[in-house]
Chain A
C-alpha cells in the first residue's frame, strides 16, 4: 500500500516513559482524495493520532508518512486581533503567497464558505458556525492536499452542523482534498465519510472499519453504534 497518501505503520504513543500507551500499534492508510471518518469514544486517542499526523506531537514508535497537512480544531482557533479576511490572509502569507494574491484568494475562499459579507468582522462578532467556516476557509488557504479535522462541528447546534456537513461535502468535492475527520458522533461519521474507522480506547487501536456505500445509512449507523457501545461497555469493569 505504498501508493497511499497517508501511511501509518506500527504507530504507538505514550506521553512519558512510565505513562500508559495512548496509541498502540496503529496501522492506517488513507488514499488521495479519500474522506475518512475516525470514530471513537472520548479519550480514545483519536485527537492524539491527528496531532501526530500533523506533526504537533512526536511518535513514541512506528512511522508516519504524510505530506504536510492543514488542520481544523474543535474551536475555530481564529486569531482574535484579525478580521475574518485577515485570518485567512495570514494563512496565505505564511504559505508564501504574494500580497495581491492574498487579497483575491482570501475573498474567493470566504465566498466559498458563504461569508463574503462578514469578511471585515472580527471573530468575536461572528457566531460559532461562522467562525468554523472562517477556520475552514483558513485551512483551505493553506493549499495542502490533506485536511485534518478534529471534531470541528462538535460544539455547534444541530441545524448549523447539518449545513456545515453539506458545505464540507461540497468543498471536498470541489477541491479534491484528502480529509481525515475525527468525531464521536456516529451519524456524523456515516454522513460524511467514505470509510468509517472505529477506534478502541486505552490503548487506542483501529478495531473496525466500514465502507460507506449504497446501503441504507440508518442501518449502517445502527450497526456502528452497536459496535461503539460494545467497545465502551468493555471499560465498565
Chain B
C-alpha cells in the first residue's frame, strides 16, 4: 500500500479527502472511454474494389490458360472444346431457353428442398440439444448420416418413389438435414455456461432462456450449419438429377449434364458444370456470405483482415 495511493482514496461516510470537481471526473472518464475503445477501421473503397477484382483476375487467367492449351496442344474438340465453343454453346442454351429453364427448375427444387430441410432439421436439432437421452441415442446416427454421401440414397429413392420429384426431394433432404441439425446442436453445446448463469440471475424462465439467450448465442453455428446444409442440398440435387432422369421429372441442370454426355457434346457438359458452379457461387456470395459476415461482425468475432 503506497502512501500516495491511500491519500487519494475516498472514505464513504466522510467524503473524499482530495476530490476533483465532478466535471473533471467526467472528462477523465470520457477520455478513458475514448482511448480504450478500439479504433474503428473503416474498410476503404480501394481495398474492397481490389478484393472484388482478385477473383475476376483469377477467372481471366484460367480462361487464358485454357485457351492457350487449346491453341498449343490442339485437343480433339469433343474431348476439350475451347472457351469460345463453350461460351457459344452457353449462348445458344440461353437463346433457346434451356439455360433459364434448367436453372429455374433446379434452383426451385434446391430452394424448396432446402426450406423443407430447415423446417425439419431445426426442431429436430433443438430437441436433440435439449434431451440428453435422445441425443445419446440419435446423435451418432445423425453424425453418420452427415458423412454418408447422399447420392447413396438415389437407388433406394427411385425404388420407393419412382422417377418423380419425391425422389429428388428425398435425396436433398437426406443430404441437408444432418448438417443443419448438427450445426444447431453444436451451437447450443457451445453456448458459454456464463450466458445461462446471467439468464438465471436476470430471472429468465426456461422458455425465455431458450428463446432470448440460447438461440441467439447459437446463431452463428446454426448459420454455418445452414450454409453447409445448402451446399449438401445442391450437391445431392445434382447427383439425383443426373441419375434419375425422365419420368415426370422436370428438366434440371443435372439432366442437362446427362444429356450432354449422351449426345457426346462436351461443350454442353462444360456449360452445365459452369451453370451449376455459377449458381453455387451466387448463392454463397449473395446470401450466406453476407449473412455470416454480418452476424460475426456484429458480435466482434470477425478479424479485421477477413472483412
Contact = CB atoms under 8 A, between A and B. Distances in A.
B33 A129 contact: yes
Main secondary structure of the interface of B (DSSP, over half): helix
Interface string A153-164: 000000110110
Interface stretch (A3-11, A13-21, A58-66, A210-218): A210-218
A142 B203 CA distance: 9
Interface string A16-48: 000000000000000000010000000000000
A127 B5 CA distance: 24
A217 B6 contact: yes
Nearest to A55: B200
Contacts of A69: 201
A70 interface: yes
Given A80-B299, A125-B37, A165-B10, A218 B203 contact: no
Contacts of A165: 10
B200 A56 contact: yes
Nearest to A169: B12
Contact of A54 (B9, B28, B201, B212): B201
Nearest to B28: A163
A127 B155 CA distance: 58
B198 A77 contact: yes
A94 B1 contact: no
B37 A71 contact: no
B217 A79 contact: yes
B188 to A, nearest CB: 15
Nearest to A159: B32
A198 B110 CA distance: 66
A166 B194 contact: no
A160 B32 contact: yes
B13 A214 contact: yes
A124 B304 CA distance: 13
A26 B10 CA distance: 30
B300 A218 contact: no
Contacts of B32: 127, 129, 159-160, 163
**SS of A interface (majority):** helix
A122 interface: yes
Interface size class of chain B, counting residues whose CB lies under 8 Å from the partner chain: 35 or more
Interface in A159-186: 159-160, 162-163, 165-166, 169, 186
A47 to B, nearest CB: 12
Nearest to A92: B202
Nearest to A212: B12
Interface string B1-40: 1010111111111101000000001101110110111101
A55 B204 CA distance: 13
Interface stretch (A101-109, A187-195, A201-209): A187-195
Contacts of B93: none
11 contacts: A73-B197, A79-B213, A90-B212, A124-B300, A127-B33, A130-B36, A187-B1, A191-B12, A212-B12, A217-B9, A221-B6
Given A71-B201, A187-B6, A214-B14, 16 more contacts: A70-B201, A80-B299, A81-B298, A122-B299, A122-B300, A126-B37, A127-B32, A129-B32, A138-B202, A163-B25, A163-B29, A187-B5, A194-B12, A194-B13, A218-B6, A218-B7
Interface of B: 1, 3, 5-14, 16, 25-26, 28-30, 32-33, 35-38, 40, 194-195, 197-204, 208, 212-213, 216-217, 219, 298-301
Interface of A: 35, 54-56, 68-71, 73, 75, 77, 79-82, 90-91, 93-95, 114, 118, 122-130, 138, 142, 159-160, 162-163, 165-166, 169, 186-187, 190-194, 212-214, 217-218, 221-222, 225
